[in-house]
Amino acid sequence: MENFSKNQLERYPIYLKYFKELEKNGIQEISSPKIADKLGYSQEQVRKDLQAISGEPGKPKRGRSVEQLISDIETFLGYRDATTAVVIGTGHLGGALLNYPAFQGMGLEIVAGFDNDPEKVGTLMSGKMIFSSARLGDLLPRLNAHIAIICVPAHAAQGVVDEAVKFGAKGIWNFAPTHVTVPDGVVLENVNLASSLAVLSHHLSVELSRKKKQK
Amino acid sequence: MENFSKNQLERYPIYLKYFKELEKNGIQEISSPKIADKLGYSQEQVRKDLQAISGEPGKPKRGRSVEQLISDIETFLGYRDATTAVVIGTGHLGGALLNYPAFQGMGLEIVAGFDNDPEKVGTLMSGKMIFSSARLGDLLPRLNAHIAIICVPAHAAQGVVDEAVKFGAKGIWNFAPTHVTVPDGVVLENVNLASSLAVLSHHLSVELSRKKKQK
């Protein structure tokens, strides 16, 4: 399989969203320059990104079929085969993810939650059963869950990751605000809100100090 | 101000978390090679990252002061000056962010929420008042909110961003699963769960197909 960079992989859902809007508006063909212009990428990058996942080159005059592009990206991203996942830690953030309707269309099927809180265990959240975290070893293999979504507090994260991996999780989607490690052969993806906020805050302070100087 | 890449900025909260753990465990000095080893970065990168935000070079034998490193990063990231923010769209995700306790320690003070739902308007969520979205123009300037955190559905996102910018927001933190644009001089940072999931799913499928081949 071709090697895709993280930045490149992150662009495909953004292309997909745009192509679906085009389809909804009855637009059947689109050229790379137009895509580049709309999404703020270079034309070179758009051509490379789309070429990498489809066999079919665009036609210089007419562009590419929007329907084919949608099909290529959905197939590439695995949106047409569901992967089973569980959420570990069902506080505000975990609860929001249990209820995030867009995941269904992305091939992610969240089948259950796990929590330590005895008041939550045995209840339903967004239609999904919440189990005691003590039952991870018993239930993860039976649920055949490939992905564990980690939403516990920072201090508990590594312990929960270790357990999920031990009982068969092959992918860890970590939302806990801390650094965790996984063994070889397990895939780790972090959603670090602190890191995202750091980027925003830094650029904001640069922008604000630039404006002050102009005055 | 020096130019920092997005990847570099994203690393500082991860350093900070680690240095705070060291401090809690009574460790007062740390060397770049040890940091690199623990966090999985190259030594070269660690040295460059830390040099960029502190005047003081590390001592080859003893390493750097953990207390000084924490102070340097917190100052650089603006964690010691609060920036005021509002959350627009208080569904599950917006509600989770209104209640995210870690933001306080990161210099982000969320002062209010905005929503269209008449049942929510006038109520408190996590102690913060929810106002009608129709009052953005009236309230954003009075709240002196620099950052608007966008948690509305995809189709409503661009409209809400335009309004927030019109009424004074200088930074947009976009959690809506869509592409939005902002004018020059306004800072945009996206938290795109679809993109993050795309990276995870792709690497997972590569890993799983590798294992199949080995059998």
Can you spell out the DSSP letters for A93-127?
HHHHHHT-GGGGGGTEEEEEEEES-TTTTT-EETT
CB < 8 Å to B209, chain A? 1
Among A60-69, A106-115, B52-61, name the one with the lowest average pLDDT: B52-61
Strand order from edge to edge, sheet including A128-132 = A124-125, A128-132, A108-115, A83-88, A147-150, A171-174, A187-190
Q: Is B168 on the interface with A (CB under 8 A)?
A: no
pLDDT cut 90: percent of chain A above it:
52
pLDDT above 70: residue A183:
yes
Contacts of residues A49-58 at CB distance under 8 Å and 24 or more positions apart, as own/partner, are A49/A8, A49/A11, A49/A12, A49/A15, A50/A15, A52/A2, A52/A4, A52/A8, A53/A12, A58/A31, A58/A32
Beta bridge partners of B125: B128
Q: Is the pLDDT of residue A56 over 70?
A: no
Lowest mean pLDDT segment, chosen from A161-175, B54-68, B195-209: B54-68
Chain A, window 63-122: residues with a beta carbon less than 8 angstroms from a chain B beta carbon:
76-78, 83, 91-93, 95-96, 99-100, 102-103, 106-108
| Mean pLDDT computed over B93-108 | 86
Cα separation, A100 vs B34, in Å, equals: 39
What is the C-alpha end-to-end distance of chain B, expressed in Å? 54
The SS3 call for residue B3 is: coil
State residue A67's pLDDT score: 93
Give residue B195's pLDDT. Answer: 84
Q: Does residue A111 surpass a pLDDT of 60?
A: yes
Tell me what the mean pLDDT of segment B140-151 comes to: 94
Q: What is the mean pLDDT of chain B?
A: 89
Q: What is the mean pLDDT of chain A?
A: 89
Q: Which residues of B touch A8 (CB under 8 A)?
A: none
Rank A10-14, A50-54, A77-81, B156-160 by mean pLDDT and report only the highest. Answer: B156-160
**Cα-based angle B104, A97, A140 (whole degrees, multiple of 5):** 120
Residue type, A75: T
DSSP 3-state of A3: coil
What pLDDT band is residue B61 in, cutting at 50, 70 and 90? Answer: low
**CB–CB of A102 and B147 under 8 A?**
no
Å between A20 CA and nearest CA of chain B:
11
Would you say residue A14 has pLDDT above 90? no
Q: Which amino acid is at A65?
A: S
Q: Report angle CA B94, B99, B105 to the nearest 5 degrees.
A: 115
Among all chains, which residue has been given the structure tokens 């123009």? Answer: B137
d(CA B98, CA B89): 10
Is the distance from CB of A84 to CB of A109 less than 8 angstroms? yes
A177·B102 Cβ contact <8 A: yes
A35-49, B29-43, B53-67, B74-88: the lowest-pLDDT one: B53-67
Q: Answer whether B170 sits within 8 Å of A207, measured CB to CB.
A: yes
pTM of the model: 0.77
**Rounded Cα–Cα distance for residues A74 and A99 (Å):** 22
Does A18 sit within 8 Å of B204, measured CB to CB? no
| Residues facing residue A189 across a β-bridge | A173
Q: Is the pLDDT of residue B193 over 70?
A: yes
Name the residue with higher pLDDT: A213 or A13.
A13
Q: Do A197 and B95 touch (CB under 8 A)?
A: no
Task: Answer whether B10 sits within 8 Å of A198, measured CB to CB.
Answer: yes
Burial class for B164, CB neighbours closer than 10 Å (0-12, 13-18, 19+): buried
CA B87 to chain centre: 14
3-state SS assignment for residue B47: helix
How many angstroms away from the CA of A93 is the closest CA of chain B?
5
Confidence of residue A212 (pLDDT cuts 50, 70, 90): confident
| Token duo for residue A126 | 């967004």
Helix or strand (DSSP H, E) at B156: helix B154-166
Which of the residue ranges A37-46, A191-200, A203-212 would you say has the lowest mean pLDDT? A203-212
